[in-house]
């Protein structure tokens, strides 16, 4: 038999090998194998089993070893790898690397443990003799005679206080046998849930939830590919719906993948899931970036062997080698965190939909603020829409109050961090021993300009995105089309001299809070605290225990948090996300407002939300205030349609970088001409223009944007053209299909 193997280290080509007789039964498509490459053993993946070689059979080498009992990729994952390779213009090697964890690729073995058992019982005479001559051996023999199963050697030695030599002597006598076994580490008793596993009886579903569970259940029962979009307001019990769907799948013997944007940020969700599934006897694998190699391998093996049938994890859990996949849940499907920002630049949600399609499974996308991409798929009839319109137990939606910062600046004269309304509310909360969360939006892009008096932001006349300020040559530039103008000294709209940089640091907010609430206990959570995972958990549990009055953090922190005593949420600067050079800025702002508002009033008392902005009339803010997703989506989809932005067309980003700016520019311009010739009207191009950040680590960057109706047509063409052209070594290119932002 001959197989086609894709090497996994620096060799992007399919190679052929012979399979020796003794390995034939073990080898399948998707198996990881060791093969000789340039006379060195390397790891590869079998892409084609039983194939025909492109060289004479005599010259083929043998496969050296099959590395695991289970294929690393199931047939649906193999098909998925091929699709990602083409769709995202990513090298096969990098796709496989993303799909198969390093611990598995490296062929790390499961942890080995030595076990002891009785080979045969000692006769009474033997025992008497042993007790005299070697009392320690006698003790071990007696101890083992009382055990029903094998005993870990290390445990026995420490328990009886004997040395390994004692055991060896017993083995020699033929009384004791020693066995090596693979044991699993505890990947599932993972500590992201803080060790606390929430148990308790599941709640009785309300009528809306019942309807959604039935709707999803129908697709699960049919067992055909279907996508459901669950639009449920914050606190409407979406998680409970996901849980029921997973339970239905597990009960029917299938497997489920449950994606969350970021495991570290959703410890509550993870502990709820584990509590529920493990109580029902289902081992639950938690998959995240902080797993050790050994834990990763164990979790992976548990899934590949079918021992575990449910996995909860971030983006890369979509590649879990589960058997008989019936359901994929994508929680917070609108989250940009699902897009990977290195090769392969895939979108976890989109890959989830495609994998569900390949597996004939149900994909359940859920959000309080669905992405316009998914919503458009509902409108075109591709996805089914399910809705939860009310909070559980008819809890009120929080009341959103908008503060016009232009008026605030006039009244308070000067820089204002906290408005009087927000301060009053915070003080009242502090007196009542209720809690406040202040969000600072760190997605902000410091180089857009905004008038502090009227709120005006300069937009590109051609692209409807904010212009970016360039200090070096005092210009405003559009990074989409390259349009530029001199930067204004006074506001182009109201002529005030107050036009300036945007930007508000966490620190300034902290100082402002100290001034108005000197006795309050306050904590800050940002990327620094997040990287120390223990501190992050500590703060959360202190906050839950009521030891913190005011929590200041970026909106990333707020995801999925459920603190009953939080009755006030403040968004310090809503404009930071709105006036950025990104056509999704309005969508992001709407999502941000609705999501942070959702953190308030989760308990018995209703919540209030204060939003500070210089542009109170903006659609994103007005629709969020009314909690009107449909209204917002309609307006925003109208704008997208007008400019033919996603979801109406695909957006592809092409980055060129290198040390020599002239050379980069030259090649980028030459490239554009080639694409025009080859693709004509199938693609619309913008650029090349310098990237928003023109120079990174001494490399200059130019970019091109492509808009096209059919990425599946255009991307392979771009790849083909790339291969045809001669490129110098010092020009690097990166294609990003379905790029998430214009920044």
**Binding positions for ligand ADP, rule: CB under 6 A:** 203-206, 209, 232, 234-240, 392-393, 562
Q: How far is the CB of 591 from ligand ADP (least distance, A)?
A: 14
- Per the CB < 8 A criterion, the answer to whether 547 and 376 are in contact is no
Of these partners, ligand ADP, Zn ion, none, which one is at the site of residue 237 (CB under 5 to 8 Å by kind)?
ligand ADP
φ, ψ for residue 197 (rounded to 5)? -110, 120
For ligand ADP, the closer of residues 206 and 475 by Cβ is 206
Q: Does the bond joining 381 to the residue before it have cis omega, within 30 degrees of 0?
A: no
Is 494 annotated as ligand-binding? yes
- Per the CB < 8 A criterion, the answer to whether 587 and 577 are in contact is no
Q: How far is the CB of 390 from ligand ADP (least distance, A)?
A: 10
For ligand ADP, the closer of residues 13 and 204 by Cβ is 204
Continuous segment of H or E residues that includes residue 676: helix 661-679
Query: Among the candidate windows 59-67, 200-208, 457-465, 585-593, which touches Zn ion by CB under 5 A?
Result: 457-465
Q: Does 466 bind Zn ion (CB under 5 A)?
A: no
Of these partners, Zn ion, ligand ADP, none, which one is at the site of residue 544 (CB under 5 to 8 Å by kind)?
none
Closest CA relative to residue 184, chosen from 106, 317, 295, 281: 295
For Zn ion, the closer of residues 604 and 684 by Cβ is 684
Is 708 annotated as ligand-binding? no
Instruction: Determine the Cα–Cα distance for residues 336 and 345; give it in Å rounded to an integer.
Output: 12
Q: How far is the CB of 581 from Zn ion (least distance, A)?
A: 9
- Per the CB < 8 A criterion, the answer to whether 632 and 435 are in contact is no
Provide the Cα torsion 620, 622, 626, 629; round to 10°.
Answer: -30
For Zn ion, the closer of residues 460 and 569 by Cβ is 460
Query: Among the candidate windows 267-275, 470-478, 639-647, 696-704, which touches Zn ion by CB under 5 A?
Result: 470-478
Q: How far is the CB of 460 from Zn ion (least distance, A)?
A: 3
Instruction: Determine the Cα–Cα distance for residues 53 and 86; give it in Å rounded to an integer.
Output: 23
**Using the rule CB under 5 A, which residue among 264, 279, 481, 719 binds Zn ion?**
481
Of these partners, ligand ADP, Zn ion, none, which one is at the site of residue 59 (CB under 5 to 8 Å by kind)?
none
Q: How far is the CB of 240 from ligand ADP (least distance, A)?
A: 4
Kindly report the number of other CB atoms within 10 A of residue 42's CB atom: 18
- Per the CB < 8 A criterion, the answer to whether 70 and 304 are in contact is yes
Q: Site size for Zn ion, by CB under 5 A?
A: 7
Of these partners, Zn ion, ligand ADP, none, which one is at the site of residue 436 (CB under 5 to 8 Å by kind)?
none
Q: Does 460 bind Zn ion (CB under 5 A)?
A: yes
* Sign of the dihedral through C-alpha 371, 372, 374, 379: positive
- Per the CB < 8 A criterion, the answer to whether 597 and 368 are in contact is no
Q: How far is the CB of 624 from ligand ADP (least distance, A)?
A: 16
* Sign of the dihedral through C-alpha 611, 614, 616, 618: negative
For ligand ADP, the closer of residues 191 and 206 by Cβ is 206
Assigned token pair, 462 = 């051609």
Is 451 annotated as ligand-binding? yes
Of these partners, ligand ADP, Zn ion, none, which one is at the site of residue 481 (CB under 5 to 8 Å by kind)?
Zn ion
Kindly report the number of other CB atoms within 10 A of residue 510's CB atom: 17
Q: Does 684 bind Zn ion (CB under 5 A)?
A: no
Of these partners, Zn ion, ligand ADP, none, which one is at the site of residue 460 (CB under 5 to 8 Å by kind)?
Zn ion
Q: Are strands 15-18 and 2-7 parallel, antiparallel or unpaired?
A: antiparallel
If you write DSSP's letter for every residue of 516-538 in order, what string do you get? Answer: H-TTS-EEEESHHHHHSHHHHHH
Q: How far is the CB of 241 from ligand ADP (least distance, A)?
A: 7
* Sign of the dihedral through C-alpha 494, 497, 500, 504: negative
For ligand ADP, the closer of residues 240 and 335 by Cβ is 240
Is 363 annotated as ligand-binding? no
Q: Does 153 bind Zn ion (CB under 5 A)?
A: no
Instruction: Determine the Cα–Cα distance for residues 72 and 33; give it in Å rounded to an integer.
Output: 10
Instruction: Determine the Cα–Cα distance for residues 150 and 166; give it in Å rounded to an integer.
Output: 17
Q: How far is the CB of 205 from ligand ADP (least distance, A)?
A: 5
Interacting residues toward Zn ion by CB under 5 A? 460, 462-463, 478, 480-481, 483
| Residues contributing to the annotated binding site for Zn(2+) | 451, 454, 460, 463, 478, 481, 491, 494
């Amino acid at each position: 038999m001959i197989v086609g193997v894709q090497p996994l280290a620096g060799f992007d080509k399919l190679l052929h090998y012979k399979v020796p007789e003794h390995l034939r039964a073990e080898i399948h498509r998707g198996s990881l194998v060791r093969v000789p490459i340039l006379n060195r053993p390397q790891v590869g993946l079998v892409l084609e089993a039983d194939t025909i070689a492109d060289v004479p059979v005599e010259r083929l080498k043998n496969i050296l070893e099959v590395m695991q009992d289970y294929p690393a990729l199931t047939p649906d994952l193999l098909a998925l790898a091929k699709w990602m390779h083409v769709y995202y213009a990513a090298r096969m090697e990098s796709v496989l690397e993303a799909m198969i964890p390093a611990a598995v690729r490296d062929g790390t073995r499961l942890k080995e443990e030595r076990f002891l058992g009785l080979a045969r019982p000692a006769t009474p005479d033997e025992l008497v003799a042993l007790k005299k001559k070697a009392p320690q051996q006698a003790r071990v023999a007696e101890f083992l005679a009382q055990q029903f199963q094998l005993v870990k050697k290390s445990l026995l030695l420490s328990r009886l206080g004997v040395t390994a030599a004692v055991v060896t002597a017993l083995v020699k006598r033929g009384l004791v046998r020693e066995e090596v076994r693979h044991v699993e580490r505890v990947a599932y008793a993972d500590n992201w849930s803080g060790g606390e596993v929430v148990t308790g009886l599941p709640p009785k579903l309300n009528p809306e939830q019942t309807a959604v569970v039935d709707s999803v259940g129908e697709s699960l029962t049919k067992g055909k590919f279907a996508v459901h979009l669950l639009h449920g307001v914050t606190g409407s019990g979406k998680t409970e719906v996901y849980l029921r769907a997973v339970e239905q799948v597990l009960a029917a013997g299938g497997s489920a993948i449950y994606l969350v944007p970021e495991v570290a940020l959703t410890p509550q969700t993870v502990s709820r899931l584990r509590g529920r599934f493990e109580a029902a006897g289902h081992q639950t694998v938690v998959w995240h970036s902080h797993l050790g190699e050994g834990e990763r391998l164990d979790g992976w093996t548990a899934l590949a062997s079918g021992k575990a049938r449910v996995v909860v994890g971030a983006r890369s859990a979509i590649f879990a080698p589960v058997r008989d996949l019936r359901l994929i849940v994508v929680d917070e499907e609108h989250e940009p965190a699902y897009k990977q920002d290195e090769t392969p630049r895939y979108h976890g949600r989109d890959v989830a939909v495609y994998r569900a399609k390949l597996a004939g499974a149900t994909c359940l996308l859920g959000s309080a603020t669905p992405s316009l991409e998914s919503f458009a798929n509902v409108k075109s009839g591709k996805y089914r829409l399910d809705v939860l319109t009310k909070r559980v137990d008819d809890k009120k939606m929080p009341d959103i109050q908008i503060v016009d910062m232009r008026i605030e600046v006039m009244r308070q004269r000067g820089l204002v961090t906290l408005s009087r309304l927000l301060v009053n509310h915070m003080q009242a909360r502090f007196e009542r021993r209720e809690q406040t969360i202040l969000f600072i939006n760190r997605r902000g892009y410091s180089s857009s300009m905004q008038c502090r008096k009227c709120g005006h932001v300069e937009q590109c006349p051609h692209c409807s995105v904010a212009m970016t300020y360039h200090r070096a040559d005092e210009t405003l530039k559009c990074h989409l089309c390259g349009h530029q103008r001199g930067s204004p000294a006074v506001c182009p709209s109201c002529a005030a001299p107050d036009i300036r940089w945007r930007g508000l640091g966490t620190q300034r907010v902290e100082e402002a809070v100290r001034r108005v609430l000197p006795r309050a206990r306050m904590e800050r959570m940002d990327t620094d605290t997040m990287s120390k995972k223990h501190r992050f958990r500590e703060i959360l549990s202190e906050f839950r225990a009521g030891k913190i009055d005011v929590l200041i953090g970026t909106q990333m922190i707020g995801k999925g948090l459920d603190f009953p005593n939080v009755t006030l949420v403040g968004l310090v600067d809503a404009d930071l996300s709105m006036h950025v050079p990104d056509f999704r800025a309005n969508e992001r702002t709407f999502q941000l407002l609705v999501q942070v508002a959702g953190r308030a009033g989760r308990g018995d008392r209703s919540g209030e939300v204060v939003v500070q902005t210089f542009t109170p009339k903006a659609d994103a803010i007005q629709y969020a205030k009314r909690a009107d997703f449909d209204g917002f989506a309609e307006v925003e989809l109208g704008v997208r349609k007008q400019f033919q932005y996603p979801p109406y067309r695909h957006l592809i980003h092409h980055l060129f970088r290198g040390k020599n700016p002239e050379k980069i520019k030259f090649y980028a311009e030459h490239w554009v001409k080639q694409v025009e010739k080859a693709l004509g009207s199938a693609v619309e191009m913008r650029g090349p223009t310098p990237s928003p950040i023109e120079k990174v680590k001494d490399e200059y960057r130019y970019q091109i944007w492509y808009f096209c109706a059919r990425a599946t047509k255009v991307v392979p063409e771009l790849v083909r053209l790339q291969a045809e052209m001669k490129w110098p070594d010092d020009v690097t290119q990166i294609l990003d299909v379905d790029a998430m932002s214009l920044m």
